[in-house]
Structure 1
Amino acid sequence: MSDRTILVWFRNDLRINDNEILLEAVRKADKVLPVYCFDPYYFQHTASGAPKTGSFRARFLIEAVADLRKNLQGFGAELIIRIGNPADVIPQLAEEYHVNEVYHHREVAYEETKISEEVEAALWKMRLNLKHFIGHTMYHKEDLPFPIKDIPDSFAVFKKKVERDSNVRSCVPTPAHIIVPEIADAGELPTLQQLGLTEPVDDPRAAEYFQGGETAALVQMHKYFSHLDIAIKQKNGRSGAEFSSKLSPWLSIGCISPRQVYWEIQKYGSNGNLLKLELLWRDYFRFMFKKHGQKFIKAKDEAQDFAPDADMLLQKWKNGETGIPLIDAAMHELNATGFISNQNRQIVAGYLVNTIKADWTQGAAYFEEKLIDYSPASNWGNWAFIAGVNDAKESKYTIATKLPKELEAKTDFVNTWQPSSIDDAGDLVEA
């Protein structure tokens, strides 16, 4: 009887711990074939001429895949790396290695699900099954107190019912060992140049350097909770609100799972509530995309009232040349590092939508290019909330009550612009 081989198609789940598809493949198959595919679709240039994926995020991704390969090698396994359309690459590898089934984690946003459907159709022609798993949320879909079609559109109602009636599952065990077929050509990691990008320049003012990979993710999680532990022991009133976990880059491509973070939070009681709330928002946006699809971020039917000079103002917003210190500082930081705080994201998005009245979808696309921690559901869901184009009943965040001047003083990036004239830096519209 021939060996059973399962191909594990890694996408936004670049980890070994708490990875159900990897564990199930090890349990169900004699051999496991781990694969990661750099899809050229994500590295093309958009109609505006900008790269769909910016250099900071691409570098972070390459580092994460390299770390996954290294960690798999520690289990005696190997990661096959290819550059190409997954609908071509996955079937080719399935045929070459006599694969019996392919596992992957299900996605929810349009582009990602379309790619899955293309791979599934190609495998179906070979009489092979693409098995879908759910592994990107804190709460499992099957544990929600309502079917997807009945999920409340109001986050407040969603939160109340989920926290009252659902439980977060335990993390799945890590495989003890991983047996792979004999691999003739594992493939090399691509360079940024091969992906059509240039090497990003790290700005010395950046507060953090984000290193891709599960190893760095676990270090960052330990660092955050160590800080939280110290704050609690010192009884200085800090409950996590004054320092960010900055785990979002690793969560976005699955170097660490929401469940792993949740179960660490549970050790700290109410002191971890803020981070738990952020994880729940991530869940909510994913479930909204699952429920509504593209309609969740579809513009209203009525004509949108853009400012006459919206294109020029949009470019000034991108460049950090609006003349509003806080806006410009945040955009300079985004451009120079690929990361800004959640609060500043809401502020600059609100400014683009409500003050300069530019096309919010162009703002969302710019964030998609620039953000290291870009996640389709969270990014586009957030922007749609601020633009008011979905069925949400409340704003996502109460934007800072502090005056812009107080916030500006906390960043070095505010000094990188030269305004022609500013009458009142406090003239910032609340998002």
Structure 2
Amino acid sequence: MKINENYRSLRDSYLFSDIAHKVAAFSESHPDRRIYKMGIGDVTLPLAPAVVAAMEEAVREQGERATFRGYGPEQGYPFLRESIREYYRSFGAAVDADEIFVSDGAKSDLGNILDLFDPDNTVLIPDPVYPVYVDTNKMAGRKIIYCAATRENAFLPMPDTSVKADIIYICSPDNPTGAAYSIERLRAWVDYARERGAVILYDAAYESFVSEKGLARSVYEVEGAKECAIEFCSFSKTAGFTGTRCGYTVVPFALKRCGMSLHAMWLRRQTTKFNGVAYAVQRGAAAALSEEGLRQIRANLSVYRNNAKIICDALDTLGIWYTGGRNSPYVWLQCPGFTNSFAFFDYLLEKTGVVGTPGGGFGRNGEGYFRLTSFADETTVRGAMAAFSAAFG
């Protein structure tokens, strides 16, 4: 018997688990201190009323013999896939309902999609980056190369024609930096992938925060992307499903490599290893995309957007450089007075009670930076930025 030796290359624990343990230890030793949690990207507002009503009705259906449903289709019920297709159409991206696969979240699919690719493929990942991209490829033993996301390129790296990669990760709006690609800049990545026969894994989990005209909400807004890109999205941030779990992945029919259809491969993988998302959850997700549901979830999103503005306004007043926030729930700031982001984390927690995420946890180019999230109630955000301003004003 042999184990997967690639696990030896991983950190002992996941970044956000480390942070949670540090905060818990601080709270235990300082029981009277106010803690402002703005580190983990978890939503705080409840599910929209339309979603709750739909899920309650679905549960009642499951309690009646005439309307009970057992195993559903692994790729998702048609009513939800049609709703997602219409949602894409609302911002000018065309996908077929049968190209959509419903899942329990983008994080799961971002890891599971690697079943389709040989371990010998070279993976291109931006730095800094969401740790899941790196760790899931390390687990498989793939060669990873990095493209530098820095202040100089606005944390939006562009293709380098001298670099050969088979799998390319793009997240826009980005986690952790909040930077977002325009449709035109994204076109360069699509052209690069098509010329080289590479596949783009495009994480669109935060697309609902995009408000600026010209910024991409989907890679499929770029002509030719269906020949080279798989897109992952989620209801977690759009509709507050972090505790409900529902997402979707789009694998176009036109995406083929080595004489094989990646759509057919993913369908085969899902029907073998996945039994689908709960019926009640899918009814809730479809309700989130209804006219009334969209109105309600946009009201929630406006709260998070306003929180981001509160953060940005405070940083503007202090003269601290940052990016993100305006088309993203994340604000990525340069650590004031610190070059080590983990030291800044400790200092900020001790001095102000504000919890964020050290940029160094996202990669080498994240060192010296810090991520704050707007996924909190307004009182927490205002209190956090008041404490922050008092410490650095």
Does the pair score TM above 0.5? no
More contact order relative to length (CA 8 Å, sep ≥ 6): 2
Whose radius of gyration is greater, 1 or 2? 1
